Amino acid sequence: RKEVEQDPGPFNVPEGATVAFNCTYSNSASQSFFWYRQDCRKEPKLLMSVYSSGNEDGRFTAQLNRASQYISLLIRDSKLSDSATYLCVVCDNNDMRFGAGTRLTVKP
Amino acid sequence: SQTIHQWPATLVQPVGSPLSLECTVEGTSNPNLYWYRQAAGRGLQLLFYSVGIGQISSEVPQNLSASRPQDRQFILSSKKLLLSDSGFYLCAWSVGLPAEQYFGPGTRLTVT
């Protein structure tokens, strides 16, 4: 089993749609969780941290389920500019593990 | 504010040639530094990380090496490149453990 697993997609959605990504992790001792966004041929950029209580940043909502060992990212009212690959990241001290990413394409 | 630089942006090297990629961070002291490789269409693979000058931890055995000669400088090297070394090399920094990491713009390496 991979340490961090994501559905690779691609997810093709129309503008304005709501889309959700899930990510599962194997290390129950993981302490910190993040979502990154990576545009084609660019470096990953931090999108948001994921807190135990769940957190929201504008159209983006991240949730953590420690019991089931998964995190999720919900994007509401998708924009064309949301098209990118979304990376799930799980961290334990200095051990940061990246998922392979989920590709999202938002179409007009 | 903190910034991270990597160079060169792109590099084409023949098999068997040496490699030196440099990464520098500005605006922070004693950062944790990381080297990742991302092969085409694949996830990030952690190659090396460093918590201080001269302290290097290797995640995977390979023909690459890393050095940290100064607090905010991280260098990735190879004596002889292989075709399989092609990829997108990313340097990242963080402060504290565990903490989010911030990436440099990357170096796209093609070994021919």
Q: Is the pLDDT of residue B20 over 80?
A: yes
Q: What is the mean pLDDT of residues B12-19?
A: 97
Q: How confident is the model at residue B26 (pLDDT cuts 50, 70, 90)?
A: very high
| Amino acid B61: pLDDT | 66
3-state helix, strand, coil in chain B (%, to 5): 5, 60, 40
Chain A nearest-CA distance from B68, in A, is 17
Alpha-carbon span A88 to B58, nearest angstrom: 22
For residues B8-26, one letter each, b for 16 or more C-beta atoms within 10 angstroms of the residue's C-beta and e for the rest, the string is eeebebeeeeebebebbbe
Inter-chain contacts counted by CB atoms under 8 A, chains A and B = 44
SS3 assignment, position B83: helix
Q: What is the CA radius of gyration of chain B?
A: 13
Q: Are strands B19-26 and B73-78 parallel, antiparallel or unpaired?
A: antiparallel
Which of B49, B60, B95, B103 to probe by mutation at the A interface, max A CB count within 10 Å?
Answer: B103
Query: How does DSSP classify residue A67?
Result: T
Which residues of chain A carry a pLDDT beneath 50?
none
- Environment class of residue B49 by beta-carbon count within 10 Å: exposed (0-12), middle (13-18) or buried (19+)? buried
Q: Give tens-digit pLDDT for B44-90.
A: 989 999 999 999 998 876 789 999 999 999 999 999 999 999 999 99
Interface of B with A (CB under 8 A): 32, 34, 42-44, 46, 49, 51, 88, 90, 97-106, 108
pLDDT tens-digit readout, B32-44:
999 999 987 778 9
